[in-house]
Amino acid sequence: MNLNSFCLGIQPVGKIDPIYLKTIAGSFLGGLGMKSLILPSLAHPEYAFDKRRVQYDAGIIINKLETMKFKGCNTVIALVDADLFIPVFSFVLGEAKMGGKCALISLYRLRKNPARAVKVAIHEFGHLMNLDHCHEKTCVMRFSKNIEQLDLISDIFCKYCLDTIKYMIKKN
């Protein structure tokens, strides 16, 4: 398989401004030459709401997404406008299982900035392709624990990470 035949699903969860969907889809086409498909919206994930933390558990949402079928899509990036957490962090901008099929992006803390959402989406896609965090200062795979750090990285992979992405897609 190559980048041209790989299809990424963009999955809105709840009400999502179409500008985010179109911007993320366009970034994968423009940056990687990869086609994407914007999928019909799923219901807001009330099932994952944690009353104690007043946030949504990203792991629960990803586990549910992983059980779903997304016809014609090799992997899926879901977007939700909700404050997400995982047990070891007070919040996350995105979450993915290494080598999984679905990643999750939270728009909640990105301050209505589609360019930030693109960085998080590309980063989480890297995890779906088994990439770990990168030490290159501007690589999109560099770990960002907050918005300030996210703003310092680019929206592209360094050469090493890009070569790994291409290899992983070809291997699929």
Tell how far CA 3 is from the center of its chain: 17
Task: Determine, yes or no, domain membership for 2.
Answer: no
The pLDDT value given to residue 31: 80
Catalytic residues: 124
Task: Determine, yes or no, domain membership for 143.
Answer: yes
Pairwise CA distance, residues 172 & 168, whole Å: 6
Task: Determine, yes or no, domain membership for 1.
Answer: no
Q: Which residues of the chain have pLDDT under 50?
A: none
Long-range contacts of 88-93 (CB under 8 A, 24+ apart): 89/145, 91/55, 92/58, 93/120, 93/144, 93/150
Q: Which CATH number characterizes residue 117's domain?
A: 3.40.390.10
The pLDDT value given to residue 32: 85
Task: Determine, yes or no, domain membership for 20.
Answer: yes
The pLDDT value given to residue 3: 65
Q: Which residues contact 129 (CB under 8 A, 6 or more apart)?
A: 99, 164, 165, 168, 169
Domain count, the chain: 1
The pLDDT value given to residue 5: 80
Domain of residue 11: give its range. 7-171
Q: Phi first, then psi: what are they for 8, rounded to 5°?
A: -100, 125
The pLDDT tens digits of the residues spanning 38-76 come to 999 999 999 999 999 999 999 999 999 999 999 999 999
Query: What is this structure's pTM?
Result: 0.94
